[in-house]
Amino acid sequence: MLTRAARRASSGIHGSLGRTPLTTMAASAQSSSATTGVVDATQELSKKGAFVRTESQFRDALGSDKYPVEAGRYHLYVSYACPWACRCLMVRNLKGLQDAIGVSVVHPVWVQTKPGVDEHRGWGFGTDFAGADGDPIYGAATVRDLYERLAGGQKVTKFTVPMLVDTKTDTIVNNESSEIIRMLTSVCDSISSNPGLDLYPAELREAIDAVNAWVYPKLNNGVYRSGFATTQEAYDEAVAEVFEALDDMEEILSKQRWLAGDGKRFTEADLRAFVTIVRFDAVYVTHFKCNRKTIREYPNITDFMREIYQMPGISDTVDLDHIRHHYQRSHPSINKYGIVAVCPDPLLDAPHDRARFPQA
């Protein structure tokens, strides 16, 4: 029997017949955004055609005097398609914060966010795709609407998820996923059902940071640098680093259970790698042209991926339907007709052999 993720992976049917496939406007959107100043990820390019991700704008801290930890006060906006957002969702589940921090899931397919104003396309809300929600807090139609309402007068030109919002003061706390996951794991014990979980323990921070220092640029961001490149030189450089990272990861995981330090403890470094790996064969191989090898050809990475997926709460954050439909229907400069390709069954529920290595 196919797993939930496998059924979604194999389905070729659009989950939303009401959404028009994004078949036009790549050049038009760039022209229009030059007028309004707004951008989407496909437009963050250097003069050499390389994708250059801009920094997140909102960087306040949960647990500060401004944003004290309180159950029911904060709301997290995410996309099942987005690896950055899903790592926050994963930590929320692992930490046992489901009853304390609310979540809304955006529609996977980008929509035009300001019709008649510009051609920007980005995250919207809609319930016509299984698993997507409306916005129960503000009734926003798009994530852009949320930013413009909650930014406190700041000029915002990029409208991303995740977004952690304080519903008491109607402000954006933070939209940088690497900081959100650390806040959730480190300062939320008082509202958590799993307060003992620490994914960034003091004794492993140097080792975790060392892993993140190559996993982020080469793999997490590397697949985007490959997919959004507009010159051969930029693509060649990016895709080489993607597989350099995967080759190194396979070697590490052939000797130990987890990535950081002596590999005996599951940490944020593993979680940050997982969100890219679990999307790799479904979309990055084809859509982002990272096709030298598939994850299935890396046996240790494959089993590492399966072990994490099978942890309680993780499978609920992996929706291959959202993943496939987002990437392949939201980037007309890459996939003009919005055709959603099928992908192999990832067999995420299959047995793995990671128990052959010790863990703390």
160 is in an annotated binding site: yes
Whole-model pTM: value is: 0.89
Task: Give yes or no: residues 316 and 170 share one domain.
Answer: no
Task: Give yes or no: residues 241 and 321 share one domain.
Answer: yes
What's residue 17's pLDDT?
A: 30
Residue at 349 is within a domain: yes
The domain that holds 326 is classified in CATH as 1.20.1050.10
Task: Give yes or no: residues 100 and 207 share one domain.
Answer: no
The domain that holds 159 is classified in CATH as 3.40.30.10
52 is in an annotated binding site: no
Task: Give yes or no: residues 176 and 206 share one domain.
Answer: no
Residue at 245 is within a domain: yes
Verify whether residue 224 is a known catalytic residue. Answer: yes
Task: Give yes or no: residues 209 and 327 share one domain.
Answer: yes
Which of the listed residues 169, 191, 213 is the one where a domain comes to its end?
Answer: 191
Task: Give yes or no: residues 178 and 206 share one domain.
Answer: no
Which domain range does residue 145 map to?
A: 74-191
Task: Give yes or no: residues 208 and 299 share one domain.
Answer: yes
285 is in an annotated binding site: no
54 is in an annotated binding site: no
Residue at 46 is within a domain: no
Task: Give yes or no: residues 166 and 207 share one domain.
Answer: no
Task: Give yes or no: residues 240 and 345 share one domain.
Answer: yes
Residue in 80, 82, 235, 309 annotated catalytic: 82
Residue at 45 is within a domain: no
Residue at 266 is within a domain: yes
176 is in an annotated binding site: yes
Task: Give yes or no: residues 163 and 245 share one domain.
Answer: no
Domain count, the chain: 2
Q: Which residue is it, tokens 């072990």?
A: 307
Verify whether residue 86 is a known catalytic residue. Answer: no
* Per-residue model confidence as pLDDT tens for the chain (360 residues): 334 454 444 443 333 333 333 333 344 444 445 556 887 877 888 877 888 888 899 999 999 999 999 999 999 999 999 999 999 999 999 999 999 999 999 999 999 999 999 999 999 999 999 999 999 999 999 999 999 999 999 999 999 999 999 999 999 999 999 999 999 999 999 999 999 999 999 999 999 999 999 999 999 999 999 999 999 999 999 999 999 999 999 999 999 999 999 999 999 999 999 999 999 999 999 999 999 999 999 999 999 999 999 999 999 999 999 999 999 999 999 999 999 999 999 999 999 999 999 999
Residue at 324 is within a domain: yes
Residue at 81 is within a domain: yes
Residue in 74, 147, 224, 327 annotated catalytic: 224
Residue at 239 is within a domain: yes
What's residue 188's pLDDT?
A: 98
What's residue 32's pLDDT?
A: 47
What's residue 8's pLDDT?
A: 45
Task: Give yes or no: residues 153 and 296 share one domain.
Answer: no
Task: Give yes or no: residues 262 and 346 share one domain.
Answer: yes
What's residue 53's pLDDT?
A: 82
What's residue 34's pLDDT?
A: 52
